[in-house]
Structure 1
Amino acid sequence: MRKQESRGQGTSSDPWVPASAGTQERPKEGVRFAGYAALFDKQDRGGDIIRKGAFARAIAWWRGRGKTVPLLWQHRPDKPIGIIESLAEDERGLRVIGHVRADAPAEAAAMLKQGQVNGLSFGYRVAKADGRHPRVLKDLDLVEVSLVTFPMQPAARVHAVESTHTSSP
């Protein structure tokens, strides 16, 4: 494994330390990334504000089934591109470590490595919210995480990227 880049937008801790919930074994080849798919208490472009704890039930649901949230390209269900290795809430937001498969569409891995696409987003259904505008999201059914060009929350970004590969014998 070779570290490619750290964009310095993450927490003060090592971005590659797995989050405490929803950890899955990673593939041997591809592109690995760490970042935030959502940030707490920040209004997004649509007027929603996510509260800490909004993902807790969904993370437990996925983990209880031994599965991980799908990783998609630009929210397209026909473009799964890898796995979410680790998913957890911390003080800042929904922290993810993901892995884009080596056999994913070429543009996904290349654009991630080059920093051309570094937005993160998520698909969801609202289980509990207060207010109308802004709407305060308190409990969400997490459906997917996506690498995107334009995230709904402008600061929801990848902050570290590395290429992974299997060593030759």
Structure 2
Amino acid sequence: MDKLFLETKFVAGNAGEIEGLAWPFGSPDRVGDVIEKGAFANVNLPLTMLFGHDQNDPIGVWTEAVEAPDGLRLKGKLLVEHVERAREVRALVQSGAVRGISIGFITRKAMARKGGGRTISQLQLLEASLVTLPMHPGARVTSAKSAVQALAIADAINRATAHFFQEV
């Protein structure tokens, strides 16, 4: 199984919602591999979410996979209500200590790239892991909703606008 590590932007909410850019199109990863648009056409959902590609450490499921113009975007859920490790990983994501996504797949069709690496046009996606150091510098978690952050923002707005609504 091939494993490609990508730095991703993602968000992990208190309920475990998470989304990210798992593979950006148009740029190679650290070893020179490029995955073409269309290679992710047959993703089987739900897709296993692991921590660090450890098959003994499932932490959630990816429930949506979309080939967007900028790359493969995933949405899913950390199983924070049932899996202690998922709660730990959520805290790591929310703190920024873990911000990468890495995909594990079997290459079905690829060509060598001049200068190294491959252009992959067909693959079978097996899993997508949350990782500390992704192979592709553009792969990152983009959203991890936090009720704590939302409440803090709401509180700040309420404080800032309180004087507008005081009775005279």
TM-score (norm 2): 0.72
Question: Which residue of structure 2 lines up, in the alignment, with residue 22 of structure 1?
Answer: none
The structure 1 residue matched to 2:109, chosen from 95, 111, 128, is 128
Question: Which residue of structure 2 lines up, in the alignment, with residue 48 of structure 1?
Answer: 33
Question: Which residue of structure 2 lines up, in the alignment, with residue 35 of structure 1?
Answer: 20
RMSD between superposed Cα atoms in Å? 1.9
The answer to whether the Cα contact below 8 Å between 2:47 and 2:63 also exists between their aligned partners in 1 is no
Question: Which residue of structure 2 lines up, in the alignment, with residue 143 of structure 1?
Answer: 126
**Pairwise CA distance, 1:134:** 2.8
Can you list the C-alpha shifts for 1:70-126, whole angstroms capped at 9, x where unaligned?
000011100000111211111111101121111241431110111110101110110
Bigger-Rg structure (1/2):
2
The amino acid that maps onto 1:118 is R
Confirm or deny that 1:156 pairs with 2:134.
no
Taking the TM superposition and a 5 Å limit, the aligned residue runs for 1:74-153 are 74-102=52-80, 103-105=83-85, 106-132=87-113, 133-153=116-136
The amino acid that maps onto 1:112 is V
Q: Moved runs in structure 1, 4+ residues, more than 3 A? A: none
**Pairwise CA distance, 1:41:** 1.8
SS at match of 1:110: helix
Q: Distance in 2 between matches of 1:30 and 1:85?
A: 15
Question: Which structure 2 residue ranges, 5 or more long, are not aligned?
Answer: 1-8, 148-168
SS at match of 2:20: strand
The answer to whether the Cα contact below 8 Å between 2:98 and 2:130 also exists between their aligned partners in 1 is yes
Aligned length: 132
Confirm or deny that 1:72 pairs with 2:55.
no
Q: Distance in 2 between matches of 1:73 and 1:30?
A: 18
The answer to whether the Cα contact below 8 Å between 1:82 and 1:104 also exists between their aligned partners in 2 is no
SS at match of 2:98: coil
Can you list the C-alpha shifts for 1:21-72, whole angstroms capped at 9, x where unaligned?
xxxxxxxx73212111111121101210111011103x2xx1xxxx411000
Question: Which structure 1 residue ranges, 5 or more long, are not aligned?
Answer: 1-8, 16-28, 165-169
The amino acid that maps onto 2:57 is K
Question: Which residue of structure 2 lines up, in the alignment, with residue 25 of structure 1?
Answer: none
Question: Which residue of structure 2 lines up, in the alignment, with residue 6 of structure 1?
Answer: none
* Structure number with higher helix proportion: 2
Q: Distance in 2 between matches of 1:54 and 1:78?
A: 27
